[in-house]
Each structure stands twice: as C-alpha cells, then as structure tokens.
Structure 1
Amino acid sequence: MGFFIEGIKSALNLLFSFNRDVYSAVFLSLRVTTLSTLFAAIIGVPLGFIIGLNNFYGKRVIIVIFNTLYSLPTVLMGLFAYGMFSRNGPLGSLGLLYTPQAMIIGQTILIFPLITALTISAVQAIDKKVFKTCLTLGANYLQSSLTAFFEYKQLFVAAVIAGFGRAFGEVGVSMMLGGNIRGYTRNITTSIAFATAKGEFALGIALGLILLLVACLISILLQFLQRGK
C-alpha cells in the first residue's frame, strides 16, 4: 500500500511542479483529440442526421456497419491506418507516419463511426411530430430539418463529447501512427504505457490522474446534457 501512496505523492509533485514531460503529453493529447473530434463531427453529425431522418433501402445495413466500426478495438483501426501511411501504403508518399498529423487522421477515422452512429440514434429518438409540424406550417425540408436539429441539439452535442472521450483515452492509434516520440508525438496514453514499462510509476500516475479528471468532466457534461433534454 505504501508503494501506491508514495507513487501518488510523487505524481502530485510532478503535476504541481509543471513537469515538462507531463504537460507536453497533456497539451499534445488536447490538441490532437480536439482537432480529430472537430473533423469527425463535421462529417459524422450531418451524415448521421441524414441517415437517421430518411428511410431508404439498405438503411439497416448501413447502421449495422457503423455500429460495428465504432466497437472495433483501437489497435485494429491503428493497424489499418498504419497500412495506409506506411512507406508501401497508398498514402506513404505523404510522409505523415509518426507525426501528429497522422495521429489526428487516425483518431478521426476511429471516432467518425461512433459520432455518426450516436447521431443516427439521436435522430431516431426525435419526436417526428416536430418535423411534420414544421412542414405543415410551410417550412421546406431543409428548414424543418434544421428546426429539429436545434430543438434536440443536446443529443448531438452528447454524441460529439462521447467521440472526444473515445479519442482522448485511446492508445492503439496514437502508438502505431505517432511512434511515441518524446516531445513530438508522445501523448498521455502512450506516456502512461511507456512510463510504466520503464518503472516510472509516478509519471504514469500523474498522467493517469489527468486522464481520470478528463473522464470525470466528460461524464459530468453528458449527465448535464441528458438532464437538459
């Protein structure tokens, strides 16, 4: 038990002394995850809204595909992206492997299906009377869709927040595409894995505490949005 207590004390010391390795990993995680979530949301929310709002042949198959993709292990998605960016891959000429840009693209691919699937579920939960009432009052299809979107916007924000949480805590994509390069592509999760392997328990705990704090904040935001429905 004393081992854990000493580890926590050392971790707090690293946090309050603004250790360079700790905060370099934190800022990289925030930057990469924020950008990847933004890109995934720009594509996933409108696409999910369109799929959820309309009835067409093959809709159920598409929903099953998205549900399957977002439940895949992160290391499998990382393997796919690594194959794309490796020297012999179709995008190898871009030279993006082991860069923050590759991590952003990889995390975007990872959370895009999740945001899309959750958006589809949110649209299916919308009271269709809202959409029909707008049409009855003379609004066109686009105006009715936008009205329904803003009426239930907290559901779509929750989908985006869930995507952010998924990206922030993943390790497979970041490790395989970023290479865990100190001060360049080493984020919170890869730092925890590396520090633990080296026996630097305090550093791992310090980063773990930050990861736990972010997870708690995400949970609080989701609870707040659900209460505001």
Structure 2
Amino acid sequence: MTSEIIDGIIQAFNLIFSLDPTVYTIVFRSLYVSGLATAMATLWSLPIAVILGMKNFRGKRFIKASFNAFLGMPTVVLGLLLFLLLKRSGPFGMLELLFTPLAISIGQAILMTPIIVSFTTSAIESVDMEIRELARTLGSTEIQASTAILREAAGGVTLAVIAGFNRGFAELGVATMIGGNVHGRTRLLTTAIALEINRADIAFSIALGVILVSIVYAMSLILNYLRRT
C-alpha cells in the first residue's frame, strides 16, 4: 500500500513537470470556467454591495443577513436547483445550457455572489465615514461617489473577489450536477479527481489534486497579504 502511494506520487509529479496535455487541458478549462464565473459574479455583486454599504433603506438588515446566511450554501443543493431549472423539461430548458461550461460558470457565479456581496459590503462600511460623506457632497454623481468609495475599499473588494474565486474553483457539487463531467467539455479539476479516484488512477488524481491545492493555496496567500495590508 505504501509503495503504491509513493509510486503514485512520483508518477503524479512526472505528469505535472512533463506538462501532460490531458492534465493541463483540465487545469486551463477549470481556470477559464471559474474565471468567467468570478467576472460574472463581480459584475452584479459590486452594485448590490455598494447599495447595501452606502444606502439606508427598509429591509437592508434582512437582505444583508440573507447574503450572510447563504455563505455556507451546500453546493449539491444549488446544483440540484439549477439542474431542475436547466433540464430539457425545466423552465429554462430551451436555452440548452445543461452540461455546458457556461452552465457551470453560472452556477459557480451564484455560489460566489454571497461571498463577494458580504465581504465587499463590509469593506465599504469600514471606509472612514468622512470619506464617504465627502464623496457624496462634492457634487459627484452616484456612480462617481460609488467609484470613489470602492477605490478606498479596494483591498477589501479584491479580498472578496479572490475569496469568491476560491469558493467556486474548489467546489464539486455544482460542477458535477450541471456540468456532467463530460470528457473534453465540462471535466474540471474537482470532477476529474472524483472520477479518477473511482477508476483507481492514483497518479492522475494526485497530479490534479496537487495543482488544485497549489492554485487555491496561492490565492489564499494573496488573501492573507491583503488582510495584513
């Protein structure tokens, strides 16, 4: 058993350092899918966070609490809901998105949204009150004032986006249920690891696992740096 694990580790690093095309095709597809998801989630999360961070209105506390509650949303539950919506007989079946990379990106973007909204809202609320009031009173438009405050909260916003990326990149449930783990199309790092373990391909699983952990770890180092600064 020990020798099998050692052999698997050696073969795994051979796959990594030989730039095995099968391994790196999965890596780049995973980065593309999660990168697109992060871009989409950021696009709609920042305006929501700006409103929550800068405006006072009825129901604000409930909305913030709801986003915080969904930080720990089980990915399999989200995957199930999206599957029911996107399947051929579902309300959005005509879009034919099920088992496509775009479907996974949409699912990951939804998963990232509570993180980006909650963290960015906190970052905006931590901006000095004088700066926030100054941005509002210097004749700025709403967009200009929001941009100025986001600039002041840039570190927190970046932290939110990176945390969102990590959440989507390392998840399994959504990618499996609405991606289908289709070879050459929707197979990502997490789904490929699960598949190869079932096939008892230890070396390939370890290679993918090492790359997955390395990317998440690198992003976490950036997060820690931003927290300190």
Structure 2 match to 1:35: 36
TM-score, normalised on structure 2?
Answer: 0.94
Query: Cα deviation per residue 1:60-111 (whole Å; 9 max; x = unaligned)?
Result: 1101111122211111111111111011111111111111111111111111
Equivalenced residue count is 228
The amino acid across from 1:168 in the alignment is: F
Alignment of 1:183 onto 2:179: no
TM-score, normalised on structure 1?
Answer: 0.94
**Is the CA contact (8 Å cut-off) linking 1:192 and 1:208 kept in structure 2?**
yes
CA distance in 2, matches of 1:155, 1:218: 14
**Is the CA contact (8 Å cut-off) linking 2:127 and 2:152 kept in structure 1?**
no
**Is the CA contact (8 Å cut-off) linking 1:118 and 1:159 kept in structure 2?**
yes
- Once the two structures are overlaid, the 10-residue window that deviates more, 198-207 or 68-77, is 68-77
Structure 1 match to 2:114: 113
- Once the two structures are overlaid, the 10-residue window that deviates more, 80-89 or 3-12, is 3-12
CA distance in 1, matches of 2:111, 2:118: 12
Query: Cα deviation per residue 1:205-226 (whole Å; 9 max; x = unaligned)?
Result: 0000001111111111112222
Over aligned residues, Cα RMSD in angstroms? 1.5
Unaligned runs of 5+ in 1: none
Q: 1:24 to 1:141 in 2, by over 3 A?
A: closer
Structure 2 match to 1:14: 15
CA distance in 2, matches of 1:130, 1:147: 9
- Once the two structures are overlaid, the 10-residue window that deviates more, 138-147 or 31-40, is 138-147
**Is the CA contact (8 Å cut-off) linking 1:24 and 1:187 kept in structure 2?**
no
Unaligned runs of 5+ in 2: none
Deviation, 1:142, is 4.0
Deviation, 1:37, is 0.3
Deviation, 1:145, is 2.9
Q: 1:224 to 1:14 in 2, by over 3 A?
A: same
Deviation, 1:125, is 1.8
Deviation, 1:115, is 1.0
Structure 2 match to 1:211: 212
CA distance in 1, matches of 2:159, 2:179: 28
Identical columns (%): 41
CA distance in 2, matches of 1:139, 1:146: 10
Structure 2 match to 1:24: 25
**Is the CA contact (8 Å cut-off) linking 1:12 and 1:206 kept in structure 2?**
yes
Query: Cα deviation per residue 1:156-184 (whole Å; 9 max; x = unaligned)?
Result: 01101111000100011110111111111
Structure 2 match to 1:86: 87
Deviation, 1:18, is 2.3
The amino acid across from 2:161 in the alignment is: V
